[in-house]
Each structure stands twice: as structure tokens, then as C-alpha cells.
């Protein structure tokens, strides 16, 4: 096994810190395929081939946090997507430790964290199944110092919003929050507690949104909630409620 022991209340995690790698997610997946048992964090000061959701590029300037957590058989396969919500609320709670304005930190469906209405973090979940074992990688990028100038959604950094914290200090807080929320989740048995934490800080809940799904026309409606599987519940203007599993979400008032 690689990595140094990482101190959390749960105590079972390890941390492998690198100066540079192509992608912390890719490296975690390589280790998984080579038999790494999991509960392993990999962080890097910079990445050369990072990726965001749906194959988009992720900018990797030194001074930001690039981290991936490898888990092995954390739950039944139908609950793997819960880990995206666990990561989002853990990032939000970690920012709380360093921010004076906790109400400004929100989670945006399905995989972003917002600070003062702008994206400061993204999450990418990947998995592979081999030899009756499922390995899951949770990639987390946090704009500690820098943010892209022309992203799909308005972006910011912690520093730009008055939150001064190093990537290393932020990672230690994040790793503790992740360990606590994974334990609360209890291998997928207690998603309702995670769901409620997420809804308590949901970005623009109840407001009018435009949902852009791959290969389909955009649909407008109200962001009603998320269901027990983490799907967005979109209430159309005629009162019909649709489950949305994946989409880009736009809020027309500010975006």
C-alpha cells in the first residue's frame, strides 16, 4: 500500500502527496486496477491532463487544490452517485471552517460548490468494476487561489471572496469532513441524512431554471428538490414533475 496515514476521526485513510501528475483521478484509477485496496487520497500541486465533468478540461494552476479519493466497494452500485453529494457538502463544510460568511457557501446540482453565487469547486465521480470489486474515484478541484476567466458558469476562488487558506490546510479540513460524512452515510444506508444536509444549502432551490440535457431541447421549470436517488425534481410550468439524472443547469436571472 502507498501513502502516509491521514489523521481523521475514523482513522483508516492514507494520503499520497505529489508535486505533479497527469490527473489525480487517472492515477487513482491506475492504482485501483493494480490492486490498491482503497481509502487512499492522492493530491497534486498541479496536473497536466486534468478533466472535468462530461469530458471538459479543468484548469490546473498551482495554488489550487487537486485531490482524488479512491474507495473500494463503498456501497451497492446503485448508490454510488451518492458520493457526489457527500463530496459537495464536505467541500462546503470545509470552506465554512475558513469563511466568515457561511450563508454564502452553497451546493449546486449536481456537482458544484458555489461561493457568493459563483462556482469555486467541481467534483468528478468515476468507477470501474473488476473481479467482483468496484473501485470508485471521487475527484475534487477547489479554486483556492485562481479561477478560469471564461468558464461555462461564472467562477471565483476562495481568495477572491476573502477566504485565505492554502491548498494543504484546506485538504486537511476536507479530508476530515469527507471521513465524517462517509461514516454518516453508512455505506449508502443513510442517504436521507446526506440529502437533507445538501438541501439545507441548495443553490437557488425553488427558483426558475433552464435544464440542458445532452441531445435534447432545453426545458424550463422550477427546481423543486432532489429525490431519494439524488435526481433533480424539475417542476414544469404545467405542474408536471420530471426526474433529471444529468444536465447543465442555468439560472436565467444571473447567468
C-alpha 204/C-alpha 163 separation (Å) is: 22
Q: Class of 208-250 per CATH?
A: mainly beta
- Topology of domain 4-199, per CATH? BirA Bifunctional Protein; domain 2 (3.30.930)
Q: What pLDDT is attached to residue 254?
A: 44
C-alpha 234/C-alpha 240 separation (Å) is: 8
Q: What pLDDT is attached to residue 255?
A: 42
Contacts of 34 (CB under 8 A, 6+ apart): none
Note whether 4-199 and 208-250 share their fold. Answer: no
Q: What pLDDT is attached to residue 149?
A: 75
C-alpha 159/C-alpha 219 separation (Å) is: 35
C-alpha 221/C-alpha 140 separation (Å) is: 29
Q: What pLDDT is attached to residue 23?
A: 94
Q: What pLDDT is attached to residue 11?
A: 84
Contacts of 168 (CB under 8 A, 6+ apart): none
The domain segmentation of the chain, as residue ranges, is 4-199, 208-250
User: Where in the chain does DSSP place strands (E)?
Assistant: 4-5, 14-21, 40-47, 65-72, 105-108, 112-115, 118-130, 133-142, 208-212, 219-226, 232-235, 241-244, 248-250
Could you tell me the mean pLDDT of each successive run of 10 residues in the chain, 255 residues long? 90 95 95 95 89 54 95 96 98 95 91 95 94 95 89 87 96 98 97 98 96 91 97 97 92 57
CA torsion 236-82-181-166 (nearest 10°) is -80
Burial pattern 27-60, b for ≥16 Cβ within 10 A else e, equals bbbebbeeebebbbbbbbbebeebbbbeeeebbb
Report the length, in residues, of the chain. 255
Q: What pLDDT is attached to residue 101?
A: 83
Q: What pLDDT is attached to residue 151?
A: 63
Amino acid at each position: 500500500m502507498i501513502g502516509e496515514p491521514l489523521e481523521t476521526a475514523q482513522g483508516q485513510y492514507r494520503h499520497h502527496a505529489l508535486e505533479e501528475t497527469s490527473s489525480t483521478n487517472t492515477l487513482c484509477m491506475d492504482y485501483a486496477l493494480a490492486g490498491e485496496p482503497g481509502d487512499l487520497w492522492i493530491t497534486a500541486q498541479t496536473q497536466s491532463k486534468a478533466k472535468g465533468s462530461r469530458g471538459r478540461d479543468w484548469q490546473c494552476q498551482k495554488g489550487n487544490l487537486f485531490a482524488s479519493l479512491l474507495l473500494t466497494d463503498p456501497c451497492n452500485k446503485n448508490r454510488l452517485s451518492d458520493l457526489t453529494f457527500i463530496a459537495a457538502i464536505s467541500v462546503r463544510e470545509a470552506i465554512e471552517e475558513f469563511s466568515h460568511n457561511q450563508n454564502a457557501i452553497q451546493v449546486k446540482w449536481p456537482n458544484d460548490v458555489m461561493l457568493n453565487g459563483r462556482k469555486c469547486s467541481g467534483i468528478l465521480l468515476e468507477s470501474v468494476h473488476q473481479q467482483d470489486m468496484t473501485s470508485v474515484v471521487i475527484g475534487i478541484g477547489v479554486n483556492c487561489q485562481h479561477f478560469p476567466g471564461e468558464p461555462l458558469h461564472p467562477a471565483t476562488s476562495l481568495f477572491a471572496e476573502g477566504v485565505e487558506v492554502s491548498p494543504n490546510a484546506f485538504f486537511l479540513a476536507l479530508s476530515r469532513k469527507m471521513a465524517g460524512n462517509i461514516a454518516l452515510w453508512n455505506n449508502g444506508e443513510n442517504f436521507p441524512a446526506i440529502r437533507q444536509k445538501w438541501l439545507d444549502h441548495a443553490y437557488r432551490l425553488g427558483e426558475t431554471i433552464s435544464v440542458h440535457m445532452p441531445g435534447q431541447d432545453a426545458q424550463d421549470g422550477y427546481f423543486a428538490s432532489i429525490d431519494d436517488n439524488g435526481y433533480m425534481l424539475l417542476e414544469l410550468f404545467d405542474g408536471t414533475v420530471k426526474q433529471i439524472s444529468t444536465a447543465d443547469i442555468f439560472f436565467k436571472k444571473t447567468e
